[in-house]
Amino acid sequence: MSEKPEKSEKRNFVLGVLNGILFNFGISFTHPHTVLPVFVSLFTSSKIIIGTVTTLWPFGWSIPQIFVASLTEHWKRRKPIYIIAAVLRSSTWFFLFLITYLYGGGKTSFLLISFFILYGTSCLAGGLGGLPFLDIVGKTITTTKRGRFFSLRLFFGGILSVGGGLVVKYILSNPEHFPFPHNYALLFFLTFFWTSLGVSLFVCVKEPTQIPAVERRSNFFLYLRKLLGILRENQNYKRFFWAAIFLNCGIITLPFYVIYGREVLRFPSGMVGIFISAQMMGAVISALFWGFLSDRFGNKLVVKFAGLLGVLVPLLIILAGGFHRIANPGFLSEEIFHQLPLAVYVVAFVFIGMNINGLFIGQTNLLLEIAPTKERATYIGITNAAIGLVTLLPLLGGYIIELTSYTAAFCLSLFLMLIGIFFTFLIVEPRTSRHKSC
């Protein structure tokens, strides 16, 4: 006897939410912005090599999706490729645990090379599974419940990640109990265990079959030409595409806000932890709000508000620099002006966390609504591959800072995001257009 659609959707909803919570918890033990760069710095002092760690994850997750979309455009179900990607992704963390535990004592180049091979494979596997995941969500979760779906994943996953961060702090702060390489081997194992449990839950999701737009896979180069045709013909998607690209350009200066605060504004090194906590707090407390806004009023509004918060970030950073200058001797030296740059910085990092979660929830759900059902995978592939290229922009940001100044880079980030806001206002809310056509 087949399961009722309502019961099946509820089951898929719960499994999907638990998948996100456990996966976010697992990644907190080896976060690519904090733990992994420190691990790599034990083997090399090269800032380029260390910086590669933070770029690999978003780039590896996004770029393969265009190829997956081409490969599976004629498939009725995409869950098989998700399972393959999940097994590959989990196994890389297990092998990292083994190699670090067995061969990490000498901090050899073999371990460093092995790390990049396995971690790079994990990131690419994430990209292979990313498109099937979003396509399955589009098939199984009702439009007006997707905001709640993603917000619950991010909210409870974020809360557990705080606990994961405390575990990381305890393990790395007690070398007498957890000496190198056993400390990092343990962290790799914890990531393997919890992410494996998370992806196993999503494997249990029931994916309905769906008639694809084409019966046979086309040549990849012909497929790329079709993508260009989509951008020309679907005007609403075209507006969404450019809005997503430019709003994500805020990443161009994201890695440099902490450096600017430390080198120019002379914040103590310990404040880095405060900024990270502020960003995490902004992400967690905003998740449920974005989900409510998404389900109740539509995702265009979510993207618009999240984009405006993103625009405020470089403005606040520039303002903090202004307060720092007037607090120097010769200007105003009252104690309040010494504290203002720090307070403004904390607010900016809260907005960063809110912006990242808001754009993720809003853009993901808006894309799933704009994309025609039979071509959903193609639209996901185009968008995420393009955003993947945007993740390389911090390299340009660093070059601009070296060539000119921090302020010039912050102003460029502000300008690009304002263009994104402009395109966001041009998007036609899919729910409104559907109601008019009914």
Where exactly are the structural domains of the chain? 1-217, 218-426
Mean pLDDT (whole number) for 331-346:
67
pLDDT class for 252, splitting at 50, 70, 90?
confident
Tell me the fold of 218-426.
Growth Hormone; Chain: A; (1.20.1250)
Structure-block tokens of residue 411 = 């102003």
Which residues, 6 or more positions from 270, have their beta carbon under 8 angstroms from its beta carbon? none
**Gap between the Cα atoms of 103 and 415, Å rounded:** 48
Q: Where are the beta strands (DSSP E) in 21-132?
A: none
- In this prediction the pTM is 0.76
Instruction: Please tell me if the domain spanning 1-217 has the same topology as the one spanning 218-426.
Output: yes
- Indicate the SS3 state at residue 41: helix
The least confident of 194-198, 251-255, 342-346 is 251-255
The answer on pLDDT for 134 being more than 70 is: yes
**Gap between the Cα atoms of 60 and 121, Å rounded:** 8
DSSP classification of residue 333: -
The answer on pLDDT for 45 being more than 80 is: no
The least confident of 96-105, 155-164, 264-273, 274-283 is 264-273
Instruction: Look up the CATH superfamily of 1-217.
Output: MFS general substrate transporter like domains (1.20.1250.20)
Type of residue found at 89:
R
User: If we measure between CA atoms, which residue out of 338, 334, 352, 341 comes closest to residue 286?
Assistant: 352
32-61 burial code (b ≥16 CB/10 A, e <16)? bebbbbebbeebeeeeeebbbbbbbbbbbb
Mean pLDDT (whole number) for 380-405:
81
pLDDT class for 437, splitting at 50, 70, 90?
very low
Range with the largest mean pLDDT of 212-216, 273-277, 336-340, 399-403: 399-403
User: If we measure between CA atoms, which residue out of 248, 310, 272 comes closest to residue 58?
Assistant: 248
Tens digits of per-residue pLDDT, 170-204? 888 788 888 888 888 999 999 999 989 988 888 87
Structure-block tokens of residue 129 = 């599974």
Amino acid 177: pLDDT: 83
Instruction: Cis check for the bond before 181: say yes or no (omega within 30 of 0).
Output: yes
Left (φ > 0), alpha (ψ -120 to 50) or beta: where does 330 sit? left
pLDDT class for 320, splitting at 50, 70, 90?
confident
pLDDT class for 258, splitting at 50, 70, 90?
confident
Range with the largest mean pLDDT of 63-67, 247-251, 272-276, 428-432: 247-251
